[in-house]
Structure 1
């Protein structure tokens, strides 16, 4: 990737990361050495995705929450 547009060491918060589209985006970002915060409302899918993503980079965390419900993110 062109260094001008590098996302290496940047933090990316990806909502819906347990799903197909969000998971694919999270994978691409992880492969580019971004620090990924994966957010999803489904604990089981999120846990699976985080484990998959850690194969591409260690800077991945998962947060269960609903971005439409601020109280769920403040926990």
Structure 2
């Protein structure tokens, strides 16, 4: 999804900025922002999974593996 967003924004930037240097500078800023957003999302997902893995309840710790085994079976 990040790639699709970047490609769309890249096309808009190319049309809006005829100067390639300025367009590339702006694309680099957009790319850095998208990478930062992706990293933040991964950190939040990691935090959720870690919290579930160290939870007090057996079902809280094992619902993901049980779901996976259900779909595999």
Which structure is higher in helix share?
2
Higher RCO (C-alpha 8 Å, min separation 6): 1
Q: TM-score band (shorter)?
A: under 0.3
Instruction: Return the TM-score normalized by structure 1.
Output: 0.26
Higher Cα Rg, which structure: 2
TM-score normalised per structure 2: 0.26
| Higher strand proportion (structure 1 or 2) | 1
